[in-house]
Amino acid sequence: MPVALLALAIGAFGIGTTEFVMMGVLPETAADFGVSISAAGYLISAYALGVVVGAPLLTAVAVRLPRKTMLLSMMVMFVIGNALFAFAPNHEFGVLFRFLAGLPHGAFFGAGAVVASSMVASGQRARAVSMMFMGLTLANVVGVPLGTLLGQQVGWRATFGLVAVIGLVALVAIAKLVPHQGKPLEVSLRGELSAFRKPQVWLALAIVTFGLGGGFACLSYLAPMMTDVAGFEPASVTLLLSLAGIGMTLGNYLGGRLADRAPMPTLFAALFALGSVLAVFTVTAHSKVAAAITIFFIGVAAFMIGPIMQARIMEKAGGAPSLVSAAVQSAFNIANSIGAYLGGLVIAGGLGLVAPNWVGALLAVLGLSLAAVSAGLDRKETPTPAPPQPQLATAGHG
């Protein structure tokens, strides 16, 4: 794997940290701004909205830029957005700056996935993409716990100041390590948009939305589930989230390795495993040891899906991969929102704290059904080999 992937992984690590560490320092941020926890939750929503808006918008605006220039520009925006948030004077400006920090997220990953896959042979593309996304999953293992600890001990502003520094390190690494890509050949916004005429592209986005939405339905309510059902102390939740992050890292690695060999069988296996382990979690959530083990496997199954679908959607987009690659990040954040919303709906309906696991299992089954439809279209797109033609007999020579 090219060393340039390390630069992309550092950027992904910073992005993953800033996206998820907000959950860990939410009480400190709410107290500093003088708002309720629920109002402070808008800081999470604002970032997600920035991702959904920025992924297609910034990719479309910069479609003719060299991809290395695109990566550098997105990382500059990331550093500025997080630095501004670290010095936000009040809650309203905080929400605005979190939105700005989220804008480059999807465009960075979209361009990064194309760059990563372009630096390796065709049989290693999913693995290369997974190496970049390794930074995102490692953020849940290292960045989020350490950022939460820093925010609790020093202050939340120090956490996001550190995130901005990580962005600067990524900026330097990309400038030094990523080779010049040149301008995309014959690429136009119309050409990039033409990829969305393909049913397989929309199916891929739907698989990400509902398949990963199943994982988020569970993970969004993991803290109250573990404290009120399994009986863990609140201080243990950070360790459980780290355990899920280790599972995500392993799942991302396995997904990238296996997807290059057998993408659709690996996708089927991951979605089936996710649905099964979420259903099992409705039982194991009542036991500390069993719950911890199950949380690890939820992370593995859910994050196997990402590199598979990132590689698949670029393949289905043909010669216009940038916009659809960025759209995967929008789908990822929509998955987060749908999973959290539906999980909260069943809890509010009085079905209990483990009910989001059933929601997650059903969403994974829906993702599996969409994958089956996509595989069916693959078979239709593959030309049937022509039957062998009978050989004409020829006269021999005496």
Question: 203-262 pLDDT, tens per residue?
Answer: 888 999 998 889 888 887 777 788 888 888 877 877 887 888 889 888 888 887 887 778
Tens of pLDDT, residue by residue over 180-201, are 766 555 555 566 666 677 888 8
Span 321-328, average pLDDT: 74
Which pLDDT band holds residue 396 (cuts at 50, 70, 90)? very low
Structural domain spans, the chain: 1-183, 186-382
> In the 8-state DSSP scheme, what is residue 383?
P
Query: 338 to each of 335, 346, 350, 394, how far by Cα in Å?
Result: 5, 13, 19, 69
Tens of pLDDT, residue by residue over 366-388, are 999 999 998 888 787 665 454 55
Which of the listed CATH numbers 3.50.50.60, 1.20.1250.20, 3.40.50.2300, 3.30.559.10 matches domain 1-183?
A: 1.20.1250.20
pLDDT at 141 over 70: yes
pLDDT at 278 over 90: yes
Inter-axis angle of helices 26-33 and 4-24, nearest 10: 60
- Biggest distance spanned by C-alpha atoms of the chain: 105
Q: Tell the residue number behind the tokens 């649905």, with chain if given.
A: 275
Beta-carbon contacts of residue 53 (< 8 Å; ≥ 6 apart) = 103
76 token code pair: 């500059």
Q: Are 195 and 201 in contact (CB under 8 A)?
A: yes
Range ranked top by mean pLDDT from 76-85, 188-197, 240-249, 306-315: 76-85
> In the 8-state DSSP scheme, what is residue 143?
I
DSSP 340-381: HHHHHHHHHTTS-TTHHHHHHHHHHHHHHHHHHHHHHHHHHH
> What is the rounded distance in angstroms from the CA atom of residue 57 to the CA atom of residue 61?
6
Residue from 396, 323, 271 nearest 59 by CA: 323
Question: For the chain, first and last CA: distance in Å?
Answer: 62
Q: Which range among 58-62, 102-106, 210-214, 240-244 shows the weakest confidence by mean pLDDT?
A: 58-62
Residue from 173, 365, 169, 134 nearest 272 by CA: 365
Q: What is the reported pLDDT for 124? A: 75
pLDDT at 393 over 50: no
pTM given for the model? 0.74
Is residue 80 classed exposed, middle or buried when 0-12, 13-18 and 19+ CB atoms within 10 A define those classes? middle
Q: Are 166 and 13 in contact (CB under 8 A)?
A: yes
Which pLDDT band holds residue 291 (cuts at 50, 70, 90)? very high
pLDDT at 38 over 70: no
Write down the architecture of domain 186-382 according to CATH: Up-down Bundle (1.20)
Tell me the average pLDDT of the chain.
Answer: 83
pLDDT at 1 over 70: no
Beta-carbon contacts of residue 164 (< 8 Å; ≥ 6 apart) = 79, 82, 83, 86
Q: What is the reported pLDDT for 140? A: 80
Range ranked top by mean pLDDT from 134-138, 346-350, 358-362: 358-362
